[in-house]
Amino acid sequence: MSADDAAGGQPAGEGGAARPTRPRGGGVLAAVRETVLVVAVALVVSLVVKTFLLQAFYIPSQSMERTLDIGDRVVVSKLTPGPFALHRGDVVVFADPGGWLTDTPEPERGPLGAVVADVLTFVGLLPEDSDEHLIKRVVGLPGDHVVCCDEQGRVTVNDVPVDETAYLFPGAEPSQVTFDVTVPEDRLWVMGDNRAESADSRYNGDKQYGGFVPLEDVVGRAYAVVWPLSHLDWLGTPEAFAQVPGRTGVG
């Protein structure tokens, strides 16, 4: 009698023990279970990343041209401000402080499409729309004295003129309106790069917080354009504010 026969037709393992056979059937169910598990893990990881680290946002308007075009997708680091300091010149996404945004039409979707879009946006797989958020450039930190304009038509911060030509929309003036403000503690003064098309701190003085943005409303710093691929770019901190005295950042 062979070893196979002694084991009832099963190949013998070490010590004469029979090797278990792989159960037949259930391949489809196993694949489904594995797929569901992978998707669930991916969604959880994505939700954790969105909550604590990164989030995508969609650019709906021309207020940040030429830096950001309509339809661009940007990735925002939620570690700034926080573990990493926020600086003058950084581009930030923040919740509407109150009355800055007008009603925007929602994209047309069927009931199922709306649910799917909401779920994917919630976990971070789709970019946030801009119904409740804005994106602007930080010009003044808490305590800064921000004025426009000097004799050459430039914005000054703490009495230092700022050369903004590196990011302003071509031909745009630093501001079409004059202002003279001191940024309160825990607030920011923000402006769009396309100054003629940006309803920013300059135009919201009659709203809650007087046109300033509370630090607690800042979602994070936009650090990269990731879509479309032709617009792929890194959004670093410009050198325009390097000579401005005072605090260099807020965390």
Residue 1 lies in a domain: no
pLDDT of 181 reads: 98
What is the chain written as a DSSP string?
--HHHHTTSS-B-GGGPBPPPPPPS-HHHHHHHHHHHHHHHHHHHHHHHHHHTEEEEE--SSTTTTTS-TT-EEEEETTTTTTS-B-TT-EEEEE--SS-SPP-PPPP--HHHHHHHHHHHHHTSS-B-SSSEEEEEEEE-TT-EEEE--TTS-EEETTEE---TTTSPTT--S-SS-EEEEPPTTEEEEE-SSGGG---GGG-TTSGGGG-EEGGGEEEEEEEEEESGGG-EE----GGGTT--S---B-
Evaluate whether 177 touches 168 at the Cβ level (below 8 Å). Answer: no
- Residue 183 maps to a domain: yes
1-4 contacts: CB < 8 A, separation 24 or more? none
Task: Measure the CA–CA gap between 155 and 73, rounded to whole angstroms.
Answer: 29
The pTM of the whole model exceeds 0.85: no
Residue 31 lies in a domain: no
Domain extent for 197: 54-112+128-241
User: Does some domain include residue 21?
Assistant: no
In a domain? residue 210: yes
* Number of domains within the chain: 1
CB atoms near residue 156 (< 10 Å): 18
Which CATH number fits the domain that encloses residue 91? 2.10.109.10
Do the domain assignments include residue 236?
Answer: yes
Rg (the chain; Cα; Å) = 27
The one-letter amino acid at 204: N
Taking Cα atoms as reference points, which of 57, 48, 220 lies closest to residue 128?
A: 57
Q: What is the mean pLDDT of each run of 10 residues along the chain (251 residues)?
A: 44 51 63 68 51 76 95 92 95 95 58 54 51 92 97 97 97 96 98 97 95 97 93 94 96 87
Which residues are the active-site residues? 63, 136
Asked, for residue 20, whether it belongs to a domain, the answer is: no
Task: Give the pLDDT of residue 30.
Answer: 73
Residue 29 domain-assigned (yes or no): no
- 235 contacts 220 by C-beta, under 8 angstroms: no
Sequence-distant (≥ 6) Cβ neighbours of residue 63 within 8 angstroms? 135, 136, 192, 193, 194, 197, 198, 199, 200
